[in-house]
Chains A and B, each alone.
Chain A
Amino acid sequence: MANTTPSLAPVRAQEASEAGALAATRRRRRYTLLTSHDKILIVLMVGVPLTLDLLLIWGPTLASVVLSFTNWDGIGSVTGENFVGFKNYQFMLTGYTLFWPAFTHNLIWLAWLTFIATPLGMFLAVLLDREMRGTRIYQSVFFLPVVLSLVVVGFIWELQYTPTEGFINNAFGLVKSGKLIDWLGNPRINLFAVLVAASWRHIGYIMILYLAGLKSVDPSLREAARVDGATEVQTFFNVVLPVMAPINVIIVVVTAIEALRAFDIAFIINQGKNGLELLSILITNNSISEASLVGFGSAIAVILLVISLGPIILFLSRTMRTTA
């Protein structure tokens, strides 16, 4: 975890020293209340974030789980009559025509990021790590989309893809020849069109994460490998990659989380219909919109939560093991 903790460690150290300093000043003032002050401080420092966490994160999460067993429409209060048992889940898995497409789209999203976008980002990082000329410029160029919010990315790519006025169809002369490709309207290709847009941003993100990791790899390891006669490829796969294990976990988790929370671009483009259904969009369209099928939306949210727990547990167990 040596490579990832630096960002957190100084903060922790600072907190600790601040706490220490605070405790020290108080200690000097009032000797008798020493320990209880310490206790109060600890309770405050642990209690406040914990309360906030329970209140703002686990509270709503549990509420969602409870609501997923109701047919509540967001109006009035939840009463006993609202509880419908597993009906929402049953319908979602068997009757709702959009659930499995959305689930599949999320999987395609995950596969695309894992096998195409993330490796590309890592590849760019390795290239840029070689200190070629203009590295900084390339870095900035690839990183630029990360600065933009996904909503803006959505707008930018919408302009590229629009059938009649979009850049792509015009650049390839498809508008003139009258053979328009409906990048965003054709349900067979629009998911991939959107994935290209999402990758445009994702690649830069992974690149910068990985580059930071690469910079902290001890150069003597590579030199040793070279002396032993290893090729560049061998060095990377047998020496650098194992050393980078903690970063690799982060990359995997980031990729998984990006795929699970995919929402913005598809929603901007057509509110997630016609081939762009995603789990997160189904949740929004069902529970937050005017439709307000809060109960049913919550059931989808619970499924997404269960799926998300996978990478979260992986990440946490990894983090805790290394810090321990």
Chain B
Amino acid sequence: MGDSRDAKRVRNRLALPYLDAELPLNLDLSRRDILKIAGYGSLAAFIAACGGSPTTTTSLTAKGGAMSLGSYNTDPNSKKGTQAIVDAFTAANGGTKVKLNTVDHGTFQNQISSYLQGTPEDAFTWFSGHRMRFFADKGLATPIDDVWDAVKSNYTEGFAASIKGNDGHAYAIPTDYYPWAVFYRKDVWAQHSYTVPTTWDAFKALCAQMKKDGLTPIAFADKDGWPAQGTFDILNLRLNGYDFHTELLTGKQKWTDPRVTAVYKKWSEITQYYSQAFAGLTWEQGADQLLRKTAGMYLLGLFVSDEFKASGSQADLDQLDFFPFPDMGTQYDAEKALDAPIDVYMLTKKSPTLAANRAQANAFLEFVAKGSTQVLYWQNAPGSIPTATDADTSQYPALTKKAVQIVSNAKRITQYFDRDSRPDYSGPNGMQGFLLKFLANPGQDTTSLQGQMQSFWDSLAPE
């Protein structure tokens, strides 16, 4: 492991200067061309089309100067992590002043449209997937192909695909991610000598056994609406595959499809094992059930570990473990697909200072693409795993190592329902509400509910 990582690092060191030199050269040429043959509109248009980025700076990055960053990292750990990154960047980049504007996470998300259209900061924190592509399509984000070309050797193919807009340009630098899996406490499982189920039937048998043993088999908490979408994602991925799932979430398949009915049918087989009164519980309260040993399992993101960490007991955190969602006996089991949402940094379009600060902003994006930067963030917010290939994994605890492993084993990675679909569809008055309706009576004939889901999709204005 160590050797190959070192080899990669050497390769990066070799690769980066080469790319650094090559890109500015290209840009220089196009500028000279424009100056020489200013009248040749067609050629200028050709160059503009090739350029990918409207920057006129002669070099990709610059030291010193200033730039600004809009951040939604407001909870204490991630806020500290962001500040640490910014400070490290200033120190490493010749004292570049970074104006950091931190806005409450929910507010930032809700006001993103008006934020990006107003006078935003140069760079901003965001999500990959549909939510990134949406704003790229609207022309509110700046393509960063030049920066991406300089750093892409530090990323695996999955990450590279996640930051491409519909137009094929790169729009973001992925910096961290967290997988969704089934979490459990090792001590509780040892006490009852449970083993990890790998098939659906084994999973259900385990649930039944847990119920007999007086545990809530599956902690489930859906007051906020989005946690249930994680279960929908994984069931749909296992039963119908990645392609169908992404097509369904983007409207290319119908919600009335019998394959969707099958998902609800399978789902209804385990709802009897859920926490009582789950529609009134927050995900933190669900995590508490696991922490306090009243629940046996919990399907959630790695951020569940934050709740264990917040309990203040390292012993509890050490007991936390997880396994990938069991196979359902379909051809799609082999995809080992899972939700692993990726957080990214992007450049805005309408920032009044971006033209002047572009080189510094590029330098910042390159900086956050480094493994060392991402590890610095991870040390503050351990629920967020670095994305860069050259990240130093030697400090990772077993839980993080395992999380890295199941993601790298996955042949298909999704971003989570509300990042893969349009926000109006996945929101509280859309799919969150529909899933709660389903869960209120899981045994129901879902035909009319699926009809409602489809007609709601059809009603949405074209994007």
Contacts and interface: CB of A to CB of B under 8 A. Distances in A.
B225 A270 contact: yes
Interface in B316-346: none
B123 to A, nearest CB: 19
Contacts of A296: 461
A273 B280 contact: no
Nearest to B112: A290
B423 interface: yes
Interface in B249-282: 276-281
Chain A's interface size range is 35 or more
B117 interface: yes
Contacts of B456: 96-97
A98 B223 CA distance: 18
Interface stretch (B84-92, B148-156, B296-304, B424-432): B424-432
Interface stretch (A67-75, A139-147, A226-234): A67-75
A185 B432 CA distance: 13
Tell me which of A73, A161, A288 has the highest count of chain B C-beta atoms within 10 A of its own C-beta.
Answer: A73
Contacts of A291: 422-424, 427
A165 B224 CA distance: 17
B427 to A, nearest CB: 6
A164 B285 contact: yes
B138 A75 contact: yes
A204 interface: no
Given A75-B140, A273-B433, A286-B429, A184 B280 contact: yes
B223 A95 contact: no
A181 B277 contact: yes
B277 A98 contact: no
B110 A288 contact: yes
Nearest to A164: B285
B113 A182 contact: no
Interface string A221-252: 00000000000000000000000000000000
Contact of B455 (A95, A165, A282): A95
B114 interface: yes
Given A75-B140, A178-B276, A285-B429, A273 B423 contact: no
Interface in A284-301: 285-286, 288-293, 295-296
Looking at chain A's contact residues, the main secondary structure is loop
A197 B131 CA distance: 36
Nearest to A270: B223
Tell me which of A97, A186, A190 has the highest count of chain B C-beta atoms within 10 A of its own C-beta.
Answer: A97
Nearest to B440: A187
Contacts of B460: 293
A114 interface: no
Given A163-B277, A164-B277, A182-B279, A290 B428 contact: no
B459 interface: yes
Contacts of A155: none
Contacts of A277: 429, 433
Closest 7 CB pairs of A and B: A185-B279, A291-B424, A185-B280, A163-B277, A182-B277, A271-B428, A290-B423
Interface of A: 71, 73-76, 91, 95-98, 161-165, 178, 180-187, 190, 270-274, 277, 282, 285-286, 288-293, 295-296
